[in-house]
Structure 1
Amino acid sequence: MDNNNNNDNKQKKKKKGSTKRTVFKSLKIFLVVFLMLSVIAGGIVIGVVLSILKDVPTIDPSKINASLDLTSTIYDANGELIEKIQAPEFRTMVKLNQMPQHLKDAFIAIEDERFIDHIGVDPKGIISSAIDNLKAGAAIRGASTITQQLARNVYLTLEKSWDRKIKEAYLALQIDKALTKDQILEAYLNRNNLGQGAYGVQEAAQTYFSKNVEDLTIAESALFAGIVKSPTKYAPYRTVSPENFDSTKHYEVGRLEILGEKYIAIYNEEAVKRQKIVLKKMLDLNKITESEYQEALNENIKENLKPGQKKIEGISSYFTDYVKTQAVDALVKRLGYTKEQAQDELFTGGLKIYSTMDVKLQRELEDIYNNFTEILVGNPEKIKAPILVDWRLNKAKDVIDEKGNIIYYSQANLFNENFELVLEKGTYEFRDNNLFIKNKKLTPYPKHIDVADYYTIDDRKNLVSHSVGSITISAENYNVSDSKEIKIGSAYLNNNKDFYRLDENGNLLISEKYFFRSKDGIVQPQSATVVMDYWTGQIKALVGGRDIEGARILNRATASQRQPGSAIKPIAAYLPALDNGYTAATPIDDIPFYYKGQLWPKNWYKGYRGIHTLRRSVEQSVNVNSVKTVESIGIQTSMAYLEKLGIISKTDPENDSFVTAKENGVRNDETLSALGLGGMTKGITPLELTAAYGAIANGGVYIEPIAFTKIEDKNGNILIDNTPKETMVVSPQVAYIMSDILRTTVSDGIAGRAKISKMAVAGKTGTTTDQADIWFAGFTPYYVSATWIGNDSPKITLTNNSGTAARLWQHIMTRMHEGLESKTSFEKPSGIVSARICTKSGKLATELCTHDPGGSAVRPEIFVKGTEPKDYCDVHVQVTIDKTNGKIANEYCPEENKVNKVFIERTPPYFPSEHNGIVPSDFQYTAPTEICDEHNQSTIIPPDPIEDDDDFYFPPLPWDNEDNDDENEN
């Protein structure tokens, strides 16, 4: 029995031991499997992490600030800020020691309270965030540290994924090892998006409160820290367009201009709600005291908001837009950038561009253009609409050209009240479910279908032109027949049910969804002016259009080429002539001229006036004489001077506006019309004309016009020193002669409306065919300027002549010269001499010249030393005539019939019979050639020279007192 018990005990112990071994073995196997699975899982995780980290960008944390995009800025001639260049971001870097402590505390408190202690990532924060999110059942709290946010903002995208979070943490660890906490915080506070395009706390301080970062209060600092969570939701103000502003719902805190558009800034209550959370967190962490907390809560953010301007107030973008264009061009040409690289540097490189703008003059010029109508026509209420525009209307009140073609439709004839495009019944039909259209409102091309433009009249009685874009239909969905009928396929119509509908009258209505329409339009006529310092080439003021308060579609001062009319004469005809043997006294005969067998050109006045000096030809803008001068010196000579004057570019012909015969053998500017009368194929810009006239004022030296003087990089290093290129065109003496001729064109000629009180003025008007364009270009001892007026469509002409342009120029330049010392003459170089000349021969005057039958033909004239005349006049002759018949008397004529009279003898002689009987006005003074048929002899008494007399009296010519500036040159 005992043995049995012992055996049972032994069996029990054996079984128990076996069980223990089995459990231990199983546990061992489990642990091994678990460890193996853990290793495998860990390996997989590590493998995944490593594969993700392979795409992490290589970084140098020590240069993290250098990787930040910076806002470029434009300054005026005095170094004052004009504009922060509009880009997706505005950023200005500041040092950490410039930031108040409470600003730093606000960001740390709400975004990363353990920032000082962690290693770039915050495990405790991650766990707390996970717990909070699990409790809430949603992602209510993030766990990214300030360092991680910096890594994301600088090196990564905003994509929400595990990949990004892993990369973010990895980069944050690197950054934390390489930089101090202060360096990280400084980079972070300069980089964060704080809404409304403001990146960094300094830019935010300017954007929301128009102050610097060091002046921020605790309340304002907490406001900024709250924005980070959502810059869209928590920005202190939002922007709405004026038409969407509702004073019953919105609280206005300011007005802004963004990319030329006007906006109203309205208070955003959500920002202050978030600010209170930040302030409470700062209090809980003992970053502020209870009293500071209460004071910050009581601060009225709503009333303290003061949106900062990104550009100087009262200045349009015409000038600064041109500065940007020139800066990009300089980076490409001088530093070898691609255009894309240059533009990227302009918008994100933190460049400092020092413009040539004189802000005072720019403001004055823009103020004048804001009052353009009142200056030129007075009260628009008393003027018949449209002002200054000479339009033709058909019976439907559409604007038409001289051939009856429609230029602009009346709005009511193009659209219905819903702005659906109306295509009249009978101009379309459906065939086999396809739509066929043949209507003058549509102009089909292989890849687009243009819609006609239209006009309205605004409340100031301006003609306003509105452009309409092409119909948004791809080329594969339509085709055009030889007869210009448009076929739109049935498949397109089926897929775009709202493309059209039919009205009750059977008209086809195309939805406005399918084309662009310029709602605001552009006022007409347009105008542009450039004011330049001709000594330096620096543009001081510039306006490119009358729409300076609205959208700036085209800078007409720098980019719009228009025919210059007679304004071309001084630079293409007379300046080259003065440098090639002509003098101011050279006689040019205004008599019929023939081009290709046709009588051409016409003068702005009726008929022909006969012999003029070169000076008088300019003063009276004689078309015939300008053409004859160009023919005399040669077209190639004229072109050579236009090249020196910046109008023609042989090195870059594609970018100049002059069309050579090589570029177009049929229609080009190598003609007497283009060079003598300004009838150019494309034309020139006001800037080009300004700079060319500047060469005359600047002693014959052309200086390439510049809009900026230098460009610095973000570290203050000079990238480009913009010293303008200079070209010697003519000698100072020749330039002075031309300048003086232009001076008397204003004082004694047809440009009298450009006179400025107590200031010397030199200049020339210009008018094109039917007054499509009117100009005045001129200069004073201080500035050179050109003013253009015309309609954007040259087919619509003006009611006023070039005197209106001269009057606007005079008004502008009077304002430009306010406060400047009076100067009534231009500086005369050495080498200028004077002589009394005969205006019919250009030679030294004689006693006979004083008895010219048309009035004294004696004038004082200036010459480049060595070119003054040496011979005496041989055009004036004294002839004894028989007064009863006006023929040459002979010895048999009764003495009482004989009288001595002074006449002129042309060389070569003029015979009206050879010109269809056309008689120039001075032909009546031609010496008779017929001898009295009752007698047989003539007596010609040789002239006696006269002495030079400073007190000589010169009776005026018959047309000297005419007050007429109505040119019609081309």
Structure 2
Amino acid sequence: MKYSKNNKPRGMIKLSSVLKILILIVVAAIIILGSMATAIVLGIFKKAPVIDPSEYRSQLSETSRIYTNDGKLIETLVSDEFSEFVPYEDIPKNLVNAIVAIEDERFFEHSGVDYKRVVGALIHDLKTRSFDQGASTITMQLAKNLYTSFSKSVVRKITDVYYSYQIEEDLTKEQILEAYLNSAGFSKGTVGVQAAAKTFFNKNVSELDLAECALLAGVTNLPEKYTPYNTQEISPEDDLGNIEVVLLPKNENSKPNSDEIIEIAKSLNELGQIDNFDLIQIQNDLMVPVKAVFNKTSQERQKLVLKKMHEQNLITNEEYENALNEKIDINIGSRKESGISSFYTDVVQKNTIKILMNSGYTKEEATSKLFNGGLKIYTPMDIDIQRTLEQVVSNPKYYYGGFTDKNGVIQPQVASVIIDQKTHEVKALVGGRNVSGGRLLNRALVPRQPGSSIKPISVYLTAFNNGATAGDVYLDSKMPEKIFGYSPRNSGNYYQGWTTIRNLLRQSSNVGAFQVARDISADKDAKANKNSTYSKVYNDEESINKMVDTLKSIGVSTIVEKKDNPTWNDMDYSPLTLGGMSYGISPFEMAGAFTTLANEGKYANPYVVSKIESNTGEVIYQVDPKEEEITTPQNAYILTDMLRDVVKRGTGRNASFAGQDIAGKTGTTNDKKDVWFVGYTPYYTCSVWIGNDKNQKLSFGSTQSAYLWKQIMRAVHEDLDKKEFEEPNGIYTKYVNGRRELFADGTKPHYTNKMGWYKDSQEKKSEDKKDDNDKNNDNEKKSSNENESKTRKKSSSKSIITDENEE
């Protein structure tokens, strides 16, 4: 019986049809899933930021460095990572081959993705049910280092593939290797092969041998596992002279350094393993010393690298055997110049950020650029002068009556700045003694009340600019409070009677400085002023404003004006003549201000940054000091000659040493809370401040700051020829009060008619005889005296912090 299609049982389907349907479903699913996957991938590609692989150098994080005036490295500015760019041609061929052999053996054949490796990795991961083989090529790793992240995600992997093709299109293989070898991490906060070579072997990458190249090449796979060294605690049984010492920063959860650690640190210091400032940081519990121990696990990885290189015919059998048998020595490289504190470079960093912000960067961008932009920052620091300054101020014999405060900081403290007045270069700077490390108080930048050291730059410089001379005559005697409402007093109640401005400055007369300041605005030839003990026609506000203008013109930035604080400010004679200012002046600005007198009356801002280069060598900043004439060369020389007298015969005798011409001024504030000496030679200007951080009374006066100044400057000038201050043309000599005096051409001494007068007889004359000029100016004098009385009362309220105590 024949069957037809119509006779086939219902509900029955051929097996072949089922298979066809299944195939169609699978194909449809593949198409749908493929479409979805393609859409997802395309979406990832679309969202990926646009990159320009040809600008890879700008993407590399590179540590900036600070150099001395002669190009010597002072400090590497390591924030989180240490990196230093090196061009491809300086990287050893063995290191390139080692990296390619272990990381991406078909690197020179693929176009960004090694599909053979991808398949092999996929099979391995499926068999082991793990994802420990990622199949990333060097190009993909470069994309991760520069453009994506270190997160393990499908999106990141796909983006890496996308970027790797772009990189391969834009860069040569050598450029890709250059970028990768400068961006790969090598543990211990090092990025790039140059930083790794310096960190682990204390040499440039170009100097590495085959064994060292293979060791470094093995690190990048798992940096913390294959790091060349690990750290261990140092024990007294260790051979301290033959260990590699590493200083690790402490944090708030760290245990305090034990007495045993402190003793070990002292021994390391004696053996030259750490310097004095490292020891201070350990004693202050900022750092802890540990020893570097070779990591044998890294050598196992090194052997695998060498084996791969041998199998790929990148090294000979002899090279392979020699490298396997070579002993690896870890030699930890230093990232800063030893023997100096960070105070100078702290100022350099602050100034660099300001320079970058002035160029258009935000503060955040400037800070990032400073630490990660690969800048080369050149300074005018003289490393020999800096070391000398550090060594002298650290000697405890210059600070008797010392103690340690509750923060563990030794007191009293010190700050000193040395400037080349001709070039305005800051040659050396310290902001403390027996303290070190970043982010500490830099006392060189902290304003402190200057005492009488302010007199040359506020009172006398301004007075000379307004017609005063060294031969002007004043009465150095107690001033009657019934006239002034207030009377400054001289240290030790020592008064000279009628004398000249030269002698007032030499003996640091407070009374004299006060009177000279009043006369800044006075007509010294007016009869009312010539024929009375104290000038009667003057303008307080004008005199004070002129002193303030002078101080501002020579870099003093901490004056409190009435617009800043109407009730408590520095717009008065007391702060500006005796130095009892609201905040004071920093040692940095004091040294800068005195360069005006040392540099023929010209001032420019002192600088610590002379040039900044980008990581590609482009000069992005070059200092250009703008000098301004603050006073004439004649005035500057005469004031210098007067300050020479201070050192030879006055309050600054302790600063004198043979072999150099010296000028300068002491300063002591009330209760000896701050003592100063600011002085100069024909070579350098130097400020010295000594005081306690919490403003406690010192056990000594300004004779000690002058003595410390001498020790610093004598050492600095040890090998310099003797020079004298050069006298400019336009000066003549005249005798006043029996003493030879210097005058600028066209000027003459004032008030010489007052010589020999006594206060009582003068007051009687003033009462008995009134000249016509006095009568015509009664109203003016009345107004002036009323103002004067108000000023004196105000001054009296501040006198408690301004009396000079020169020794």
Same-fold status (TM-score > 0.5): yes
Report the Cα distance in structure 1 between the residues aligned to 2:231 and 2:496, rounded to whole angstroms: 66
Match of 1:351 among 344, 351, 375: 375
Partner of 2:736: 837
Residue 93, structure 1, aligned to residue 106, structure 2: no
Paired amino acid for 1:311: K
1:362 to 2:386 alignment:
yes
- Indicate yes or no: 2:121 matched with 1:129: yes
1:61 corresponds to 2:61: no
SS state of the match for residue 234, structure 1? coil
The residue aligned with 2:584 is 683
Which amino acid in the other structure matches residue 386 of structure 2? Q
1:574 to 460, 463, 470: 460
Give 1 or 2: higher helix fraction: 2
Which residue of structure 2 aligns with residue 326 of structure 1? 351
- The 3-state SS of whatever aligns with 2:690 is strand
1:562 Cα deviation after fit: 0.2
1:295-344 deviation line (CA, Å, top 9, x unaligned): 2222222xx222211122222211111111111111222x1222122112
- Which amino acid letter does the alignment assign opposite residue 367 of structure 1? Q
The residue aligned with 2:708 is 808
Q: Percent identity?
A: 41
Instruction: Please tell me whether the aligned partners of residues 96 and 182 of structure 1 are also in contact (alpha carbons under 8 angstroms).
Output: yes
CA distance in 2, matches of 1:188, 1:181: 10
Is the CA contact 1:585–1:861 (under 8 Å) kept in the aligned structure 2? yes
Which of the numbers 157, 169, 173 marks the counterpart of 2:161?
Answer: 169
Q: CA deviation digits over 1:489-521, x for unaligned, max 9?
A: xxxxxxxxxxxxxxxxxxxxxxxxxxxxxxxx3
Residues 870, 179 of structure 1: alpha-carbon distance in 2 compared, 3 angstrom cutoff: closer
Of 291-300 and 147-156, more deviation after overlay is shown by 291-300
Q: 1:456-855, aligned counterparts within 5 Å?
A: 462-466=403-407, 521-549=408-436, 553-558=440-445, 560-593=446-479, 598-606=485-493, 608-633=495-520, 634-647=543-556, 656-794=557-695, 796-823=696-723, 825-838=724-737
Q: Which amino acid aligns with 1:285?
A: Q
Alpha-carbon separation, structure 1, partners of 2:714 and 2:573:
35
Amino acid at match of 2:383: V
Structure number, greater radius of gyration: 1
Distance 1:713 1:348 in 2: 11
Q: Is the 8 A contact 2:417 2:686 kept in 1?
A: yes
Contact 1:237–1:265 (CA under 8 A) maintained in structure 2: no
Pair 1:46-2:59 in alignment: no
Question: Alignment RMSD, CA only?
Answer: 2.7
Q: Give the corresponding residue for 2:769.
A: none
Q: 2:234 aligns with which of 224, 230, 245?
A: 245
Separation in structure 2 between the aligned mates of residue 356 and residue 81 of structure 1, nearest angstrom: 12
Once residues 679 and 731 of structure 1 are traced to their aligned partners in structure 2, the CA distance between those partners, rounded to angstroms, is 28
Partner Cα distance (1:21, 1:71) in 2 = 74
Report the Cα offset of residue 780 of structure 1. 0.2
Matched, 1:158 2:150: yes
Distance (whole Å) between structure 2 residues aligned to residue 64 and residue 819 of structure 1: 49
1:272-311 alignment runs, 5 A limit: 272-301=299-328, 304-311=329-336
Q: Kindly state the Cα deviation for residue 785 of structure 1 after the two structures are TM-superposed.
A: 0.7
1:645 and 1:277 map into 2 onto residues whose CA distance is: 66
Structure 1 residues 907-951: Cα deviation after superposition (integer angstroms, max 9, x where no partner): 783569x9xxxxxxxxxxxxxxxxxxxxxxxxxxxxxxxxxxxxx
Supply the AA of the counterpart residue of 1:320: T
Output the CA distance in 2 between the equivalents of 1:70 and 1:755.
48
Deviations 1:355-411 (A, max 9, x none): 11011111111111332x03x15xxxxxxxxx425xxxxxxxxxxxxxxxxxxxxxx
DSSP 3-state at the match of 2:216: helix
Map Cα deviations across residues 273-298 of structure 1 (whole Å, 9 max, x no partner): 32223223223333223332232222
CA positional deviation for 1:526: 0.7
Counterpart secondary structure, 2:406: strand
CA distance change for structure 1 residues 248 and 283 in 2, over 3 Å: closer, same or farther?
farther
Q: How far apart are residue 211 of structure 1 and its match?
A: 1.2
Moved more, 11-20 or 142-151: 11-20
Call closer, same or farther: CA 1:815–1:15 in 2, change over 3 Å: farther
TM-score, length-scaled by structure 1:
0.70
Q: Structure 2 residue aligned with 1:341, among 365, 372, 375? A: 365
Greater Cα shift, 250-259 or 305-314: 250-259
> Is the 1:733–1:829 Cα contact (8 Å) retained in structure 2?
yes
**CA offsets, 1:851-901, max 9 Å, x none?**
xxxxxxx11111112224599x6566xxxxxxxxxxxxxxxxxxxxxxxxx
The one of the two structures with greater contact order (alpha-carbon pairs below 8 A, sep at least 6) is 2
CA 1:332–1:539 in 2, change beyond 3 Å: closer, same or farther? same
Shift in alpha-carbon separation, 1:551–1:327, aligned structure 2, 3 A:
closer
- 1:237-262 Cα offsets, whole Å, 9 max, x none, are 3457xxx5346699942345879754
- For residue 843 of structure 1, what is the aligned residue in structure 2? none
Which residue does the alignment assign to 1:865? 745
Q: Structure 1 stretch 548-557 or stretch 223-232: which is displaced more? A: 548-557
* CA spacing shift, 1:529–1:723, aligned 2, 3 Å: same
For 1:55-454, what aligned pairs fall within 5 Å after superposition?
A: 55-238=47-230, 244-246=233-235, 252-256=243-247, 262=287, 263-269=289-295, 270-301=297-328, 304-333=329-358, 335-371=359-395, 373-374=396-397, 376=398, 387-389=400-402
TM superposition shift of 1:116? 1.7
Distance 1:563 1:19 in 2: 108
Contact 2:104 2:137 in 1 (8 A): yes
2:625 is paired with a residue of what secondary structure? Answer: coil
Displacement of 1:552 in angstroms is 5.1
Q: Which residue of 1 aligns with 2:778?
A: none
For residues 480 and 23 of structure 2, the distance between their equivalents in structure 1, rounded to whole angstroms, comes to 113
| Distance in 2 between residues matched to 1:601 and 1:246, nearest whole Å | 63
Q: Cα offset for 1:606?
A: 2.3
Report SS of the residue matched to 2:493: coil
**Whole-Å separation in 1 of the counterparts to 2:693 and 2:159:** 56
2 CA distance for matches of 1:716 and 1:837?
61
User: Residue 542 of structure 1: CA displacement?
Assistant: 0.4
The separation in 1 between residues aligned to 2:356 and 2:626, in whole angstroms, is 16
CA contact (8 A) 1:833 1:868 kept: no
Give, as a single letter, the amino acid of the residue that structure 1 aligns with 2:404: L
Deviation at 1:72, TM superposition (A): 1.6
- Whether the aligned pair in 2 keeps the contact of 1:576 and 1:637 (CA below 8 Å) is yes
Paired residue secondary structure (2:444): coil
Deviates more, 1:86-95 or 1:190-199: 86-95
Shift in Å at residue 614 of structure 1? 0.6
Q: 1: distance between equivalents of 2:694 and 2:518?
A: 31
Q: State whether residues 256 and 309 of structure 1, in contact with CA within 8 Å, keep that contact through their aligned partners in structure 2.
A: no
TM-score, normalising length: structure 2: 0.83
Match of 1:497 in 2: none
Structure 1 residues 564 and 77, CA, compared in 2 at 3 Å: closer, same or farther? same
Relative to structure 2, which stretch is displaced further, 759-768 or 348-357? 348-357
Q: For structure 2, list consecutive stretches of 5 or more residues without a partner in the other structure.
A: 251-280, 521-542, 767-802
Contact 1:769–1:969 (8 Å) recurs in 2: no
Q: Whose strand fraction is larger, Structure 1's or Structure 2's?
A: 1
| Cα distance in 1 for residues equivalent to 2:579 and 2:332 | 49
* Partner SS state of residue 489, structure 2: coil
In the TM superposition, what whole-angstrom CA distance separates every residue of 1:707-734 from its partner, at most 9, and x where no partner exists?
Answer: 1112122222221221123221110000
Q: Distance in 2 between matches of 1:180 and 1:21?
A: 61
